[in-house]
């Protein structure tokens, strides 16, 4: 079944330039934007307008001092706010617009103006913490959007799935003590940023609402399919979110220069399909993806397009491949460890 899928993009995102030799380059989006400019793609997706967020919206998730620190870089030729995160004259503008794209995507699916949405933004966001930049990220786009949904749209339960290679420390931190967000992360571990251990499960009202699946590296489509089939699906069905948000990183792609995972287009399409089915059954189809990492330009583009095809209802993944991943089996120690941890709080088969 075809669905109304919104794609949020802007040339402003290309204006953020962290400097020579940096892997998070404007070219990450150039090929994607070129592909999405083709007439058949313009007919296939919605391309809504959107605005940058204001300071008050950023302050739903970030300290005023942090916002001011990033804002002070506007117009400056080149500044580094931490060892990995540098800015150019329009980086603050791009970062505000990236958060604005995530917020607009949530507004669209919540209002029923789109069924699904993908915010193709940069700079990425999931490492940005309440009061500091980190790991190429200035503001935490997905956390700002989730805060907006909770505080301004009246939602009470949001599932955030982070499949980026690196653990989303900033997003985990933002919702670690609340049951209004179930944060589920697959990531290479131990690896940057050093967080995301099995034992990190939340605190206070949030205990049990952070589920981490730390992976050694080398996991392929079948491994991620098993994690989604056997752990994420029963968690989501019990939590019954009103909105599903995804930190969609493509540095788990086989061949990415920063990681050792072995995911392919089929894996991304399959994971997107699982999330789409969960969204259809639990929250009126509301599914929003926000771009995070992915540093091999060609393969990242293929991964994003695989997700967009699945979101649009094109079902490009062959039936045989879909069945194989739905029935994936085999030893996966990380899944067994994560399952035992989750069982302390949830009813998980197996």
Q: Residue 3: its pLDDT value, please?
A: 81
Q: Profile the chain (350 residues) by mean pLDDT over runs of 10 residues.
A: 90 97 96 97 97 98 98 96 97 98 98 98 98 98 99 98 98 98 98 98 98 97 98 98 98 96 97 98 98 94 97 91 94 96 96
Q: Residue 330: its pLDDT value, please?
A: 85
Q: Residue 316: its pLDDT value, please?
A: 83
pTM beyond cutoff 0.95: yes
CA–CA dist 166, 189 (Å, integer): 8
Q: Residue 307: its pLDDT value, please?
A: 98
Give the DSSP H/E element, type plus range, for residue 56: helix 55-58
Q: Which residues are catalytic?
A: 127
DSSP state of 117: E
Cβ–Cβ < 8 Å for 138, 159: no
For residue 212, the SS3 value is strand
Q: Which residue has the tokens 């399959």?
A: 270
Q: Residue 1: its pLDDT value, please?
A: 59
Domains and their CATH numbers in the chain: 5-342 (3.40.800.20)
The CA dihedral of 262, 135, 37, 114, to the nearest 10 degrees, is 90
């Amino acid at each position: 079944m075809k669905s109304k899928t919104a794609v949020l993009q802007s040339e402003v995102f290309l204006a953020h330039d962290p400097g020579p030799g940096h892997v998070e380059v404007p070219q990450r989006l150039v090929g994607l934007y070129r592909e999405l400019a083709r007439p058949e793609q313009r007919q296939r997706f919605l391309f809504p307008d959107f605005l940058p967020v204001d300071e008050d919206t950023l302050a739903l998730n970030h300290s005023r001092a942090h916002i001011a620190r990033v804002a002070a870089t506007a117009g400056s030729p080149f500044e580094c706010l931490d060892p990995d995160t540098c800015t150019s004259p329009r980086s603050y503008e791009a970062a505000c617009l990236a958060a604005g794209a995530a917020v607009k995507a949530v507004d669209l699916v919540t209002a029923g103006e789109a069924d699904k949405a993908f915010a193709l933004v940069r700079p990425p966001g999931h490492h940005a913490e309440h009061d500091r930049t980190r790991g190429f990220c200035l503001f935490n786009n997905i956390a700002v959007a989730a805060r907006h949904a909770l505080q301004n749209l009246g939602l009470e339960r949001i599932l955030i799935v982070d499949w980026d290679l690196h653990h989303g420390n900033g997003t985990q931190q933002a919702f670690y003590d609340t049951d209004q967000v179930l944060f589920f992360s697959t990531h290479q571990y131990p690896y940057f940023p050093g967080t995301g251990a099995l034992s990190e499960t939340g605190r206070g009202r949030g205990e049990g609402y952070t589920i981490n699946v730390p992976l050694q590296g080398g996991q392929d489509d079948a491994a991620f399919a098993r994690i989604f089939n056997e752990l994420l699906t029963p968690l989501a069905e019990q939590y019954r979110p009103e909105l599903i948000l995804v930190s969609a990183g493509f540095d788990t792609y086989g061949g990415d220069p920063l990681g050792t995972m072995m995911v392919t287009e089929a894996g991304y399409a399959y994971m997107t399909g699982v999330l789409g089915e969960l969204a259809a059954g639990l929250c009126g189809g509301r599914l929003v993806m926000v771009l995070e990492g992915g540093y091999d330009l060609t393969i990242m583009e293929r991964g994003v397009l695989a997700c967009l095809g699945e979101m649009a209802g094109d079902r490009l993944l062959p039936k045989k491949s879909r069945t194989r991943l739905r029935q994936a089996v085999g030893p996966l120690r990380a899944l067994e460890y994560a399952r035992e941890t989750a069982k302390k709080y949830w009813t998980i088969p197996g």
